[in-house]
Amino acid sequence: MITVLEGGVTTVPGFLAAGVRAGIKRRGLDMMLISSEDGPVAAAGVFTTNLVKGAPVLVTMKHVKNGELGAIIVNSGSANAYTGKRGLRDARQMTRLVARLLKLRTGDVAVASTGLIGLRLPMRRIETGIRAAAEELSNSREASLSAAKAIMTTDTKPKEIAIRVDLEDGTPVTISGMTKGAGMIRPNLQTATMLAFIVTDAVVSSAALKAALQNSTDQSFNMINIDNETSTSDMVLALANGRAKNRPITLKNQDKQFQAGLDYVLTELAWMIAKDAEGASHLIEVQIKNARNRKDARRAALAIAGSNLIKAAIFGRDPNYGRIIAALGYSGASFDPSKLSLELVSDRGRVDLVVRGKPKAKRAFKRARDIMRSKEIEIHADLAAGKACATAWGCDLTYDYVRINSKYTT
Amino acid sequence: MITVLEGGVTTVPGFLAAGVRAGIKRRGLDMMLISSEDGPVAAAGVFTTNLVKGAPVLVTMKHVKNGELGAIIVNSGSANAYTGKRGLRDARQMTRLVARLLKLRTGDVAVASTGLIGLRLPMRRIETGIRAAAEELSNSREASLSAAKAIMTTDTKPKEIAIRVDLEDGTPVTISGMTKGAGMIRPNLQTATMLAFIVTDAVVSSAALKAALQNSTDQSFNMINIDNETSTSDMVLALANGRAKNRPITLKNQDKQFQAGLDYVLTELAWMIAKDAEGASHLIEVQIKNARNRKDARRAALAIAGSNLIKAAIFGRDPNYGRIIAALGYSGASFDPSKLSLELVSDRGRVDLVVRGKPKAKRAFKRARDIMRSKEIEIHADLAAGKACATAWGCDLTYDYVRINSKYTT
């Protein structure tokens, strides 16, 4: 049983947060701090697979290696990526200052930055911001919301969630998190960096936390395909302080309820990102059923969610099943086209486009165009090749996407 | 030495062509026939990797297996893809009728179709068209041009080329070809099908022809990345009638000059497709230098040519090097970002954006914006990781792309 709670990261006992303005962005909060009242606790991270990694990613990957973190410092407005050795020094300096203020070791502090690539951080403002954030740390509802606001770049809304879930041993634990990352990007950003920070009071080893985090990420953030691009700065971090005193979750004693709770939190956060994609007029959910295996299901879902031609067709409310079939065909998934079924679903109803290899008559397409009047559209594909399923999210390709991404940055 | 000749497929002795109107498209020529005067000759094909293959692709793959073809019949306006067993029967019927009229075996005739997915072919019109084409077969310059016109769908121009090249043994041979395939697609097409038909008078075994054709395709058609989509109907066919009487080219006795000539023909045809991409305002050539190996070079070039964010930036004449670096980073190519150099080139000049890991100052970007006023822009990336190189072609992402691809088809 999963219960959704009011609030964000401060809902979990033992975690404090703050969001302040350091003056990096033109306006709004731009510096966020999360702190563990218990000092360093179990921690795990998942990082961008881009070969070019921002300095904060490199520093945090190193710091999380020993499985513990006590604080996370984040700035928006400048990504500190492609900034060479100076950038690494600046990222380390951020962790050093936080460590000094919160009485931690430098290696216990994670750092993340999001914004423009290739610019040096304004370190004076950053340092002033860090001091202000450390002073404002609080477990209040407002502190959590300010923190979620401070990591926003082109996001139009802060994105946070908190839930309670009963573990297999009956202990209730709280899991909460915040994220940022608009899929469609404003001119002054390079690629949409996705950041997410999760905290929980569960007792969980860092290895088990890492495995669970990777699982959840694979079916949530990794299934958003807005424009096929991978940023230099993506990062998902999770901290677990063990205050719930449940039977310890380890790699050998995993807990399905904990995994389900984490899946829920990350999937909701991923959905919020897709929904907030700039320039989009339709949110698209792709559900693949009966694929040969999970890999095939994921490939097929991501190919449809990432196809420019399908995205443009959905913008124009065109139930162009040929493009969906072509995308499934080049996705790498194995299936028999003559057994394929396609269905279109929204809150206005559902309609079959193809049933076991047979395209439906013209009437179905009229109905489909009406169904596509909804803002949220689901494409269901049944590959009839096995039992695996997967869900991916994307959005349509609009004039606004082109307008937003063609403006000068330099 | 490669000499470009006037004309297309009929420039090669022993090949006849015709382009006629069968009434499949709303207007214009829509049926094409190429015939070998010497009956079946050495032949090879390269086909779409899409799992969902159109009926003509399946039929032609089977017919070319024995290494010989005597004719190619093509219609535009309807792809005969996703048409089930009826579609297969129709495609076979087209080859059967051509075989009867030209006194060939059915298995010696190749068939290709391009146009709408999911519709049955209008077989009466097709059969009348085939008879008309067979009657009009000619070795004239006009016949070749009509044939090149008849395979067009959203192309704005026919695309053909002929060259002469001296083989290693000194024998001059002719290689010529035609292609179609606009990268950006009109509403009534699903994905842009790429078709290309090559003929030559060289003496070459079908196995050697297949190897040479695959090589050339890999560095020409396979390096066009307009929108990351692979059609159900792509096909490249080559026929060689041996009239030039050169020392036979075989897998063991390959001929570098023949390969160079074929490379030239296919690369020119690929370039014509990229240039004709609908809705594009800039043609983009990506040159990767000093990659670790050829695979890396190709990946890197295709990642840049296929990035929506880079394509949108180029539409807006924005020298956004951060997006190029991010695309290189997620391409899978291995390189050291601190050694990377990026350069922008057009007929208006050249400018460095990044030199060995160091981004240039603001002045360079002003210069870059001026360079981007040209219609054809080159992005040069030096990965400093080895000696391999690759070139890819693409075009920018424009409002017109979205407009064209969001119109109703159904």
Instruction: Give a three-class secondary structure readout of chain A.
Output: CEEEECCCHHHCCCEEEEEECCCCCCCCCCEEEEEECCCCEEEEEEECCCCCCCHHHHHHHHHHHHCEECEEEEEEEECCCCCHHHHHHHHHHHHHHHHHHHCCCHHHEEEEEEEECCCCCCHHHHHHHHHHHHHHCECCHHHHHHHHHHCCCCCCCCEEEEEEEECCCCCEEEEEEEEECCCCCCCCCCCCCCEEEEEECCCECHHHHHHHHHHHHHCCHHHECCCCCCCCCCEEEEEECCCCCCCCECCCCCCHHHHHHHHHHHHHHHHHHHHCCCCCCCEEEEEEEEECCHHHHHHHHHHHHHCHHHHHHHHCCCCCHHHHHHHHHHCCCCCCHHHCEEEEEECCEEEEEEECCEECCHHHHHHHHHHCCCCEEEEEEECCCCCEEEEEEEECCCHHHHHHHCCCCC
Q: Do A190 and B369 touch (CB under 8 A)?
A: no
- Residue range A184-206: average pLDDT? 75
A394 lies in some domain: yes
B225 lies in some domain: yes
A410 lies in some domain: no
| pLDDT exceeds 50 at position A229 | yes
Q: Do B117 and A322 touch (CB under 8 A)?
A: yes
Cβ-count burial B186-206 (b if 16+ within 10 Å, e if not): ebbbbbbbbbbbbbbbbbbbb
| pLDDT exceeds 90 at position A29 | yes
**Residue B59 in contact with residue B98, Cβ under 8 Å?**
no
B10, B153, B179, B193: the catalytic one is B193
Q: How confident is the model at residue A22 (pLDDT cuts 50, 70, 90)?
A: very high
Q: What is the CATH number of the domain that holds B370?
A: 3.10.20.340
Q: What is the mean pLDDT of chain A?
A: 91
**Interatomic CA distance for residues B21 and B6, integer angstroms:** 25
Q: Determine contact: A379 vs chain B, CB below 8 A.
A: no
The answer to whether residues A190 and A51 belong to one domain is yes
Give the lowest-confidence range in B57-61, B93-97, B263-267, B401-405. B401-405
A227 lies in some domain: yes
pLDDT confidence of residue B189: 39
pLDDT confidence of residue B380: 98
The domain boundary, picked from A220, A255, A275, lies at A275
For residue range B167-222, list pLDDT tens digits in order.
999 999 999 999 998 654 333 334 568 899 999 999 999 999 999 999 999 989 88
The answer to whether residues B264 and B359 belong to one domain is no
The answer to whether residues A238 and A316 belong to one domain is no
Vertex A350, ends A344 and A353: CA angle to 5°? 45
pLDDT confidence of residue A278: 61
Nearest CB to B359; choose among A118, A406, A409: A118
| pLDDT exceeds 80 at position A226 | no
Report residue A237 CA to chain centroid gap: 11
Question: B321 vs chain A: nearest CA distance in angstroms?
Answer: 9
The answer to whether residues A151 and A21 belong to one domain is yes
A207 lies in some domain: yes
Chain B residues closer than 8 Å to A334 by CB: 51
Q: How confident is the model at residue A308 (pLDDT cuts 50, 70, 90)?
A: confident
| pLDDT exceeds 80 at position A58 | yes
Nearest Cα residue in chain B from A316: B406
A68 lies in some domain: yes
pLDDT confidence of residue B359: 85
Q: Do A407 and B318 touch (CB under 8 A)?
A: yes
| pLDDT exceeds 90 at position B269 | yes
Q: How confident is the model at residue B226 (pLDDT cuts 50, 70, 90)?
A: low
Nearest CB to B308; choose among A51, A228, A313: A228
Domain interval for residue A150: 2-275
| pLDDT exceeds 90 at position A125 | yes
Return the amino acid letter for A129: G
Share of chain B above pLDDT 90, in %: 71
Question: B67 vs chain A: nearest CA distance in angstroms?
Answer: 27
Phi-psi map region of A82: left, alpha, beta (phi>0 left; psi -120 to 50 alpha)? left
Q: What is the mean pLDDT of chain B?
A: 91
Q: Do B232 and A325 touch (CB under 8 A)?
A: yes
Quote the number of domains for chain A: 2
Q: How confident is the model at residue A188 (pLDDT cuts 50, 70, 90)?
A: very low
Q: Find all residues with CB under 8 Å of A93, minimum gap 6, and list them.
A: A123, A127
pLDDT confidence of residue B163: 98
pLDDT confidence of residue B184: 45
Q: What is the CATH number of the domain that holds B162?
A: 3.60.70.12
The domain boundary, picked from B274, B307, B332, lies at B274
Q: Determine contact: A406 vs chain B, CB below 8 A.
A: yes
Q: Do A309 and B185 touch (CB under 8 A)?
A: yes
- Residue range B64-79: average pLDDT? 96
The answer to whether residues B358 and B268 belong to one domain is no
Which two three-digit tokens encode residue A200?
A: 């929980």
The domain boundary, picked from B256, B274, B292, lies at B274
The answer to whether residues A319 and A235 belong to one domain is no
Alpha helix ranges (H) inside B155-255: 206-218
Share of chain A above pLDDT 70, in %: 95
Q: How confident is the model at residue B363 (pLDDT cuts 50, 70, 90)?
A: confident
Secondary structure class of B145 (helix, strand, coil) = helix
Q: Determine contact: A327 vs chain B, CB below 8 A.
A: yes
Nearest Cα neighbor of B53 from B86, B91, B82 is: B82
A193, A217, A267, A398: the catalytic one is A193
The answer to whether residues A60 and A198 belong to one domain is yes
Q: How confident is the model at residue B362 (pLDDT cuts 50, 70, 90)?
A: confident
> What ipTM was reported for this prediction?
0.77
Q: Do B228 and A369 touch (CB under 8 A)?
A: no
The answer to whether residues A93 and A202 belong to one domain is yes
The answer to whether residues B337 and B236 belong to one domain is no
pLDDT confidence of residue B203: 98
pLDDT confidence of residue A204: 98
Q: How confident is the model at residue B39 (pLDDT cuts 50, 70, 90)?
A: very high
pLDDT confidence of residue A185: 36
For residue range B117-174, list pLDDT tens digits in order.
778 899 999 999 999 999 999 999 999 999 999 999 878 899 999 999 999 999 999 9
B375 lies in some domain: yes
The answer to whether residues A41 and A74 belong to one domain is yes
pLDDT confidence of residue B319: 84
Which two three-digit tokens encode residue B387?
A: 């000696």
pLDDT confidence of residue B185: 36
The answer to whether residues B188 and B314 belong to one domain is no
B410 lies in some domain: no
Chain A residues closer than 8 Å to B402 by CB: 312, 315, 397-399, 401-402
Nearest Cα neighbor of B194 from B223, B165, B164, B174 is: B223
- Residue range B69-96: average pLDDT? 95
Which residues numbered 4-43 in A keep a CB inside 8 Å of some CB on B? Answer: none
Among this protein's residues, is B193 annotated catalytic? yes
Share of chain A above pLDDT 90, in %: 71
The answer to whether residues B315 and B245 belong to one domain is no
What is the bridge-based pairing of β-strands A349-355 and B349-355? Answer: unpaired
Nearest Cα residue in chain B from A304: B229
**Interatomic CA distance for residues B324 and B307, integer angstroms:** 9
